């Protein structure tokens, strides 16, 4: 049986890291990206190869830069015929008043969180269309639908991902390519290391499940979406312990 290739952006830590382990455990070939942590990603790739016997290509660089994404897909051509599953996971937050945000900071948040999704989808789709199958899974946020004070740019980028998911799902359904998003609530990763112990406790109390989600729970849902029925498309699925 043909082994499927999954590209996971932002795979050096957090949700992307956990997703890489989940896909490796099912025998997928992996293409892993992150921004800076080249050595860490290569060590991780070697561990996945050793523990699960899977092939792994690593490629560090800025996923918000379209030219880098072109380079990444050129490298993929020597590794695999194409990408069967695309997990657009890389993301950054920005906390602060919109009025204090510079144009450069706004652009950085939008490029990293949203333009990266455009670029990876654009370059992954032709192979998926030729195969008449493919899965695109976008990692969004609860803030993409309800908005967060002092995270306006991040909320706008994630709201953009939600709309892109729904539109692209319609565009690609005739080609048997499914596009879905996961709107995470609070997941216990480095992205939330800024919270003090008291803030964590207060936030946990607001969440009906009474706790933060884990990267492994997000990874489990990502893998399930990669293996879900083809009739499931265009959905933004909340993973937030009943919070929103
Ligand atoms: P994290 O900070 O632990 O990891 C982020 C990953 O993205 C890292 O591997 C980093 O190298 C990579 N990355 C950042 N900028 C990049 C760039 N320009 N190019 C390539 N890679 C880049 O974050 P996480 O919590 O695992 O978040 C993963 C995704 O989940 C993000 O899209 C985030 O917005 C989303 N999300 C997270 C939470 C949460 O509570 N943790 C909530 C909602 C949504």
Question: Domain residues of the chain, as ranges?
Answer: 5-185+215-239
Q: Give the position, in ligand 1's atom list, of the atom nearest the Cα of 93.
A: 34
pLDDT band for position 3 (cuts 50, 70, 90): confident
**103-111, Cβ contacts within 8 angstroms, sequence gap of 24 or more:** 105/153, 106/153, 108/64, 109/153, 109/154, 109/157, 110/153, 110/156, 110/157, 110/160, 111/64, 111/65
Mutate to test the pocket of ligand 1, among 7, 12, 15 (most ligand atoms within 8 A of CB): 15
Class at the top of the CATH hierarchy for domain 5-185+215-239: alpha beta
pLDDT at 27 exceeding the cut of 80: yes
To the query of whether residue 28 is one of the catalytic residues in this protein, the response is no
Average pLDDT over residues 118-131: 98
pLDDT at 1: 54
Q: In this predicted model, what pLDDT tens digit does every residue of 143-172 receive, in sequence order?
A: 999 999 999 999 999 999 999 999 999 999
Helix axes 14-25, 38-52, angle to 10 degrees: 20
Q: Whose CA is nearest to atom 33 of ligand 1?
A: 91
The response to whether residue 128 sits with its C-beta less than 6 Å from ligand 1 reads no
Per the CB < 8 A criterion, the answer to whether 87 and 137 are in contact is yes
pLDDT at 128 exceeding the cut of 70: yes
Q: Give the position, in ligand 1's atom list, of the atom nearest the Cα of 63.
A: 19
Distance CA 77, CA 64 (A): 20
Distance CA 7, CA 165 (A): 17
CA of 19 to the centre of ligand 1 (A): 12
The response to whether residue 138 sits with its C-beta less than 6 Å from ligand 1 reads no
Q: In this predicted model, what pLDDT tens digit does every residue of 51-69 receive, in sequence order?
A: 999 999 999 999 999 999 9
Average pLDDT over residues 122-132: 98
Q: What is the dihedral of CA 189, 193, 195, 197, to 10 degrees?
A: 90
Give φ, ψ of 68 to 5 degrees. -65, -40
The response to whether residue 14 sits with its C-beta less than 6 Å from ligand 1 reads yes
CA of 89 to the centre of ligand 1 (A): 6
CA of 91 to the centre of ligand 1 (A): 4
Distance CA 164, CA 139 (A): 12
Reduced to 3 states, what is the DSSP secondary structure of residue 99? helix
pLDDT band for position 122 (cuts 50, 70, 90): very high
Average pLDDT over residues 214-225: 98
**Side-chain half-sphere CA neighbours of 152 within 13 A:** 11
pLDDT at 2 exceeding the cut of 80: no
Mutate to test the pocket of ligand 1, among 90, 113, 164, 188 (most ligand atoms within 8 A of CB): 90
CA of 103 to the centre of ligand 1 (A): 21
């Amino acid at each position: 049986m043909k082994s499927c290739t999954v590209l996971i952006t932002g795979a050096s830590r957090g949700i992307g890291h956990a997703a890489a382990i989940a896909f490796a455990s099912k025998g997928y070939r992996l293409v892993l990206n992150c921004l800076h942590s080249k050595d860490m990603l290569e060590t991780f790739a070697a561990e996945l190869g050793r523990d699960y016997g899977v092939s792994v290509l690593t490629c560090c660089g800025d996923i918000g830069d379209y030219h880098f994404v072109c380079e990444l897909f050129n490298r993929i051509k020597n590794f695999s015929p194409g990408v069967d599953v695309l997990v657009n996971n890389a993301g950054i937050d920005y906390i602060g008043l919109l009025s204090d945000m510079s144009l450069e900071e706004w652009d950085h948040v939008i490029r990293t969180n949203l333009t990266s999704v455009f670029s990876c989808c654009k370059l992954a789709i032709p192979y998926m269309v030729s195969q008449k199958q493919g899965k695109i899974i976008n990692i969004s946020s609860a803030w993409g639908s309800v908005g967060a004070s002092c995270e306006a740019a991040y909320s706008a980028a994630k709201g953009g991902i939600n709309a892109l998911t729904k539109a692209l799902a319609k565009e690609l359904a005739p080609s048997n390519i499914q596009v879905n998003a996961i709107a995470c609530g609070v997941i216990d990763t480095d992205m939330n290391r800024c919270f003090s112990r008291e803030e964590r406790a207060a936030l946990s109390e607001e969440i009906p499940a009474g706790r933060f989600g884990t990267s492994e729970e997000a990874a489990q849902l990502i893998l399930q979406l990669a293996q879900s029925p083809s009739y499931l498309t265009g959905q933004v699925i909340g993973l937030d312990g009943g919070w929103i």
